[in-house]
């Protein structure tokens, strides 16, 4: 089975469509979504409609939770908060209710696990080796997929210590990583709709458990189109700029 792993779509329909087209050409059997379908971008309803129709397993992210009205917004910075308020007003009631009822991770999927932030806390950012090292006792499966940081790559838990898996370099479109037996992995497919690793291309991953392979992928998309919609919607213009620089 080939699992298409999507995370942090953030209401970016141009990125999601580009990823789905490219992933369709590569081939996949099931779609897994690690949360943050909405928040920041201008197409929350279209992105929810897409994901609801095609994903076999979905967990919520912190923006999904906030946009569904499940928390007060004191922890959000002013830009994120403005996007949450706009998204809450824009989501249809059917879509808002669907987002509200998304399950929280960790979720077990056929021998591997999915989380939004970390296996310990759905809101935790796992960016550094030191942070990843704290999570050794929380890894219930050989492979756990996480998002939230919008940084493609992840971490490999070797006996001698944790090693960082870097994102694709700007000239790579694809990298196949063969997973070592006896090593645990925390794998981040990167963000579909708002990459923050300095590479503005949409990111995703494909997991083939039978072959012990993770394929990291990256593809350009219509950034100008997505950025223009953000400005036209009256969302903070910095959210358009972020897409252009991948930060
Ligand atoms: Zn996110």
pLDDT exceeds 90 at position 167: yes
Which of 75, 10, 68 shows the shortest CA–CA distance to 43? 10
DSSP string, 6-53: E---TT-HHHHHHHHHHHHHH--SEEEE-S--SSSSS-HHHHHHHHHH
pLDDT exceeds 90 at position 71: no
Token reading at 166:
């870097």
What would the mean pLDDT of 49-71 be, rounded to a whole number? 95
Given a contact cutoff of 8 angstroms between Cβ atoms, the answer to whether 207 and 5 are in contact is yes
pLDDT score of 114: 98
Span 95-142, pLDDT tens digits: 999 999 999 999 999 999 999 999 999 999 999 999 999 999 999 999
What would the mean pLDDT of 2-7 be, rounded to a whole number? 98
Span 23-53, pLDDT tens digits: 999 999 999 999 999 999 999 999 999 999 9
Tell me, in angstroms, the distance from the centre of ligand 1 to residue 177's CA. Answer: 24
pTM of the prediction? 0.97
The residue assigned the tokens 């897994």 is 32
Tell me, in angstroms, the distance from the centre of ligand 1 to residue 208's CA. Answer: 24
Which of 138, 141, 99 shows the shortest CA–CA distance to 122? 138
Span 175-190, pLDDT tens digits: 999 999 999 999 999 9
pLDDT score of 70: 85
Given a contact cutoff of 8 angstroms between Cβ atoms, the answer to whether 92 and 99 are in contact is no
Rounded to whole angstroms, the Cα distance separating 59 from 103 reads 5
Which strand (E) or helix (H) includes residue 155? Answer: strand 153-158
Tell me, in angstroms, the distance from the centre of ligand 1 to residue 159's CA. Answer: 31
Tell me, in angstroms, the distance from the centre of ligand 1 to residue 181's CA. Answer: 30
Token reading at 23:
């992933």
Rounded to whole angstroms, the Cα distance separating 204 from 140 reads 23
Tell me, in angstroms, the distance from the centre of ligand 1 to residue 63's CA. Answer: 7
């Amino acid at each position: 089975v080939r699992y298409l792993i999507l995370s942090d779509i953030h209401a970016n329909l141009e990125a999601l469509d580009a990823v789905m087209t490219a992933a369709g050409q590569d081939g996949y059997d099931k779609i897994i979504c690690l949360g943050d379908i909405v928040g920041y971008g201008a197409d929350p309803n279209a992105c929810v409609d897409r994901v609801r129709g095609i994903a076999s397993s979905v967990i919520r992210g912190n923006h999904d939770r906030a946009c569904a009205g499940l928390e007060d917004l004191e922890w959000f910075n002013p830009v994120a908060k403005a996007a949450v308020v706009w998204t809450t007003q824009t989501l249809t009631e059917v879509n808002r209710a669907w987002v509200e009822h998304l399950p929280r991770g960790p979720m077990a999927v056929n021998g591997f696990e999915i989380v939004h932030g970390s296996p310990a806390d759905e809101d935790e950012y796992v960016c550094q080796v030191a942070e990843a090292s704290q999570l050794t006792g929380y890894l219930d499966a050989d492979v756990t997929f996480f998002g939230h940081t919008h940084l493609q790559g992840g971490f490999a838990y070797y006996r001698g210590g944790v090693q960082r898996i870097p994102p694709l370099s700007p000239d790579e479109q694809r990298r196949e990583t063969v997973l070592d037996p006896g090593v645990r992995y925390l794998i981040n497919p990167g963000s579909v709709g708002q990459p923050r690793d300095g590479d503005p291309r949409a990111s995703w991953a494909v997991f083939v458990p039978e072959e012990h392979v993770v394929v990291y992928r990256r593809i350009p998309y219509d950034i100008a189109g997505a950025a223009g919609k953000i400005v036209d919607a009256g969302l903070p213009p910095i959210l358009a700029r972020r897409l252009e620089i991948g930060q």
